[in-house]
Structure 1
Amino acid sequence: MIGKGKAIAHTKASMEYGWNQEKDAQVVYSQNIAGESPNEITREFKLTQDLNDNCEKNTLSFIISPTIEDGKNLEKKELSRICENFMKEMKLGDRQAIAFVHQNKPHKHIHLYVNRIDFNGKAYNDSFIGKRSQQAAEKVAERMRLTTVKQVQWEKEHNLSAIRTEIKRRHDLTMKQFIPRTFQDYIKGMETNGVKVIPCINKANKLQGFRFEFDKYNLKGSEVHRSMTGGNIGKKLASEKSVSSFLKENTQLKMAGKTVELSTGMLKAIAKEVIKKTISKGMDMGMGF
């Protein structure tokens, strides 16, 4: 479950958004509120807010988002408990509050509005409210046995590790199966093996590297494996060619619907590697004599 929070000044507009019937809005929690419309509730908030003339952003706006799977099983009673527990974790105490659930999309979420000014005219301290909102949501999720952000992150990282391994395996297979000698050959080979290769082109119209799209994931080459940066892929492609031969075939490339050139960094990395291997081959031949 994710929690977000901030202090706002536009109370009425936020209330109207929260109570938006087009989003199948439903009141799931209220405290010290009698009004039955955004205008009425805004006026009730203002009566208390008039006790403090110094606070401009005098309403607290929170969004509490369970995971899609958790949201499917949460009815009004459970959603109300989420709000009640969240209020306690945030130490908001006895003040005006109202919450709406939006359920027009699969991702059910709560909009909670709380008067920042209490009945004594004191303003709630909103320092680090974003971070504290997330921490409060985590504790509420743990207490109610809902999925926490940490659990979602663990699952994502676990899945991501498997995705990286699979993209790298298909990269190695492409290199062995097709023995590409140009970037365009490599891109075609990877697509044949089920991985979409997306060129990263800078404002100077230079190719800097690649992103790899596979199974709804989109990762930079360096995020997959260090051997899959643009420069390292270029080194591999050029390993059996002379510098002039490789550059002739790869300097002007048609990618993403336009002609691009290699970035200076990629050119230097590739040229350095090819020259190093050429020298090494020459030494080996000399030693053979």
Structure 2
Amino acid sequence: MIGKGKAISHTQASMAYGWNQEKDAEVVYSQNITGDTPKEVTAEFRITQELNENCEKNTLSFVLSPTIDDGKYLEKKELSRICEQFMKQMNLKDRQAIAFVHRDKAHKHIHLYVNRIDFKGVAYNDSFIGKRSQLAAEKVAEKMQLTTVKQVQWEKQHNLSAIRSEIKRRHDLTMQQFKPRTFQDYIKGMETNGVKVIPSINKANKLQGFRFEFDKYNLKGSEVHRSMTGGNIGKSLASEKSMSSFLKENTQLKLAGKTVELSTGMTKAIAKHVIKKIISKGMDAGMGF
């Protein structure tokens, strides 16, 4: 579950958004209020807020978002408990508060509004409220056995590592299986092996590199593996041929529905690689290897 929080001054407008019937809104929690409309609740907040004329941002606005999977099973009773536990974790005590659930999207979430001014006229300290909101949401999620942000991040990172490895495996398979001579051959080979290759083309209409789309993930070549940057793929394609031959076949490429050229940086990197290979082979031949 994710928690976000901030202090606001536009209480009625924000509360009207929370109470928006078009978002299938429903009141799931309230404390120390009797009003039935955003205007009435705002008026009740304002009476208490008049006890502290120095505080301008006198309402606290929170958004509590369970994961999509958790949200499917959370009904009004559980959503009310989330708000109650969150209030305790944030040490908001006996203040005026109201919360609404939005069900208009797959990601069910709660909008919680709390009067920053208590009944003694004391303003709640909003220092680092964003960070504190997230930590409080984490504790509530743990207590209610809901999915925490840390769990989501771990699962995402774990899945991402597997995706990177699989894209790299299919890249290696493409190079071995099809022995592509051009970037276009490489793209076709990767698509045959189930990976969509998306050219990254700059404003000068030159190819800078590639992105790789696989199993709902879209990653830059460098994010997959250092050998899969545009320049390094080019080096692999050029390793078995002369630079002039490689450039002849790759200077004008029809990618993403347009004709593009290699970027200067990519051309230089590939040329440098080929020259080193030629020199190395010449030295090996001269030494009788």
CA distance in 2, matches of 1:52, 1:207: 61
- Indicate the RMSD between aligned Cα atoms, in angstroms: 1.4
3-state SS of 1:234 partner = helix
Alpha-carbon distance in structure 1 between the residues aligned to 2:57 and 2:201: 43
| Partner in structure 1 of residue 134 of structure 2 | 134
Q: Kindly state the Cα deviation for residue 39 of structure 1 after the two structures are TM-superposed.
A: 0.8
Alpha-carbon deviation of 1:210?
1.0
Deviation for aligned residue 1:103: 1.5
Q: Distance in 2 between matches of 1:255 and 1:10?
A: 50
Map of 2:201 onto structure 1: 201
2:29 maps to amino acid: Y
Match of 1:152 in 2: 152
Q: What's the counterpart of residue 53 of structure 1?
A: 53
- Corresponding residue for residue 279 of structure 1: 279
Partner of 1:27: 27
Q: Which segments of 5 or more consecutive residues in structure 1 lack a partner in the other structure?
A: none
**1:214-229 counterparts in 2 under 5 A?**
214-229=214-229
1:74, distance to aligned residue in structure 2 (A): 1.2
Aligned residues: percent identity?
A: 85
Residue of structure 1 in register with 2:39 after alignment? 39
Deviation readout 1:8-63 (Å, 9 max, x if unpaired) = 22211111111111221111111111101111011111112222223222211111
Structure 2 residue identity aligned to 1:27 = V
Where structure 2 has 5 or more consecutive residues not aligned to the other structure, the ranges are none
The two structures have a TM-score, normalised by structure 2, of: 0.96
* 1:260 alignment partner in structure 2: 260
Residue identity opposite 1:40 in structure 2 = E
CA drift of 1:130 comes to 1.3
Bigger Cα displacement from structure 2, 78-87 vs 68-77: 68-77
Query: Could you report, residue by residue, the CA deviation over 1:59-94 in whole angstroms, capped at 9, with x for unpaired residues?
Result: 111111111111122111111110011111111122
Quote the residue 1:232 is aligned against.
232
Question: CA–CA distance in 1 between the matches of 2:245 and 2:56?
Answer: 68
Residues 1:161 and 2:161 aligned together = yes
The aligned residue for residue 5 of structure 1 is 5
Alignment: residue pair count: 289
Superposed CA deviations along residues 189-212 of structure 1, whole A, max 9, x for unmatched, are: 111111111111223332221111
